Amino acid sequence: MYVFGAILIGFVAAVLAGMFGIGGAGITTPAIRVFLDAPPAIALGTTLPVTIPTAASGALTYLRRGLVDRRVAGFCCLSGLAGAVGGALLTEVIDLHYLMLLTGAVVLYTAGVTIRRGLTGRGAEPDPEAALPSEHPGAPLSVETEPVVEEPHPALLLLGIGLVAGLFSGLLGVGGGIVLIPSFLYILHMPLKKTFGTSLSVITVIAIPGTIVHAFLHHISWSLVLYLVIGSIPGAYLGARFSIRTGERSLYLLFGLLLAVFGVVFIVNEIISMVH
């Protein structure tokens, strides 16, 4: 049952990761902590090496559809590598139970913001019919509009986002998507699906140094990694394919509700373990 449970967790987490542009650790960490009874250090460290193939599989699917901003990804990767090393080293001096609670709090915050955006529809892809004149429904637009040329985002801003995402990645054993996705959406104002693809691309890179540091700190169960990866690679591909074909408002709501459920379960379980 342990092996089957680990493979199933890897698959489900990867499907959701591919759909929503996260590395999967935000789901895998609480899942293996709750359902497989893994110690806090193992729950934090083991998810990072699983994140690499999971995120890479999903990122390639988005990349083939042109849904990755390579400039944003490049700058975020540069600073994210340094942040991931620093975050992983900090786990040696910080109480891991409080790190678990912080992970849950961040997940709940992201859930609230995402659900609100899904309900209001702000930032979702516009309905092409909505742009048509109301008195002639279905008629083509007669006014020509010039294409909007977007200014490139400042390099320092991108480096700052990558640094913080890397720090969270190494510190909390997550891929960094919990920082990257809100930053791309609300600071850089990127389209949702391009946000997911770019996030997965960055996560693939910044999870590497955190994995190395956690391995030296003996925070990784490599047998558990193997079981999780078996389920995660096909799951990430399927999740990304589904996301590309789904409406953005639906994705916001599904993603937010998913994070809310896992955040609550994670925090409650961690509080119970601290009391006992």
Q: pLDDT tens for residues 199-226?
A: 999 999 998 888 888 899 898 999 999 9
Question: Would you tell me how many other CB atoms lie within 10 Å of the CB of residue 151?
Answer: 5
195 in Cβ contact with 181 (< 8 Å): yes
- Residue 38: phi, psi to the nearest 5? -80, 145
Give the model's pLDDT for residue 39.
Answer: 87
In terms of Cβ atoms closer than 10 Å to its own Cβ (0-12, 13-18, 19+), residue 140 is exposed
Task: Tell the residue number behind the tokens 């309905």, with chain if given.
Answer: 127
Asked if pLDDT for residue 145 goes beyond 50, the answer is no
Q: Per-residue pLDDT tens for 5-60? A: 899 998 988 887 777 766 666 678 778 877 888 888 888 789 889 888 888 888 99
Q: Where are the domains of the chain?
A: 2-124+151-275
Give the model's pLDDT for residue 142.
Answer: 41
Mean pLDDT, all residues of the chain: 80
Percent pLDDT > 70 in the chain is: 85
Q: What is the mean pLDDT of residues 234-262?
A: 81
Give the model's pLDDT for residue 73.
Answer: 96
Give the model's pLDDT for residue 190.
Answer: 92
Q: For 125, which DSSP code?
A: P
168 in Cβ contact with 106 (< 8 Å): yes
Q: Per-residue pLDDT tens for 101-111? A: 877 787 788 78
210 in Cβ contact with 170 (< 8 Å): yes
- Residue 276: which pLDDT band, with cuts at 50, 70 and 90? low
